[in-house]
Amino acid sequence: MSEYTKILVAIDLSEDSSRVVERGHAIASKNNADLHLIHVIEPLSFAYGGDIPMDFSGIQDEIHQQATQQLERFAASNGIDAQHQHIILGRPEVEIHATAEELGSDLIVVGSHGRHGLALLMGSTANGVLHGASCDVLAVRVGKKE
Ligand code: AMP
């Protein structure tokens, strides 16, 4: 029996994303599992809404379009079809959990920067995904080697 059947790989579209999806692919092919990709766009209003009284909808649409194109290109170069690509507006950890549940994923793969000091105290997306996930989470070490 396969250990994992549906793997959700979360990417921030940075250059680290290739490493994260590579690990997801390696596990998917060993387990003959389905692989899905998710990118979450954080609404500008979450960051600035209360402080700056302006309409962000135009810029937000532009960000959405750009991110969708980037995700499509990234997915195509990694052999992932449109039905397996998810682009969602919200908070990354919340939407990654919700999508994993919706899809019935049994593994979430995220990148992790191995932070130190203040950055460690402030937490990370990988940390947020790990806490509260109802399935396994693999944190792939990304970023500079020390
Ligand atoms: P961070 O902790 O924000 O540096 O991000 C580490 C990892 O969390 C990334 O490599 C991705 O796997 C995931 N991640 C961060 N931001 C997003 C996002 N907006 N959408 C999907 N995954 C994300």
pLDDT value of position 56: 81
> Which two structure tokens, joined as six digits, stand for 112?
């992790």
Over the stretch 41-87, which tens digit does the pLDDT of each residue have?
999 887 776 677 778 889 999 999 999 999 999 999 999 999 999 99
Q: Does residue 130 sit within a domain? A: yes
20 lines ligand 1 (CB under 6 A): yes
pLDDT value of position 47: 74
* pLDDT surpassing 60 at residue 121: no
Q: Does residue 31 sit within a domain? A: yes
3-state class percentages of the chain: helix first, strand second, coil last, to nearest 5: 45, 20, 35
* Full domain range(s) for residue 42: 6-141
Q: Does residue 105 sit within a domain? A: yes
Q: Does residue 57 sit within a domain? A: yes
113 lines ligand 1 (CB under 6 A): yes
Q: Return the bridge partners of 107, or none.
A: 7, 136
Please name the residue whose Cα sits nearest to atom 19 of ligand 1.
40
* pLDDT surpassing 90 at residue 115: no
Q: Report the CATH number at residue 41.
A: 3.40.50.620
Q: Could you tell me if 76 and 87 are in contact, meaning their C-beta atoms sit under 8 angstroms apart?
A: no
Please name the residue whose Cα sits nearest to atom 16 of ligand 1.
12
Over the stretch 78-107, which tens digit does the pLDDT of each residue have?
999 999 999 999 999 999 999 999 999 999
pLDDT value of position 113: 85
Structure-token match 């790989």, residue found? 9
Structure-token match 């680290």, residue found? 16
Q: Count how many domains the chain has.
A: 1
Ligand 1 pocket test target in 11, 17, 94 with most atoms within 8 Å of CB = 11
Q: Could you tell me if 33 and 5 are in contact, meaning their C-beta atoms sit under 8 angstroms apart?
A: yes
Q: Write out the DSSP string of 79-92.
A: T--GGGEEEEES-H
Task: Look up residue 104 and give its DSSP letter.
Answer: T
Q: What's the whole-model pTM score?
A: 0.92
Q: Does residue 49 sit within a domain? A: yes
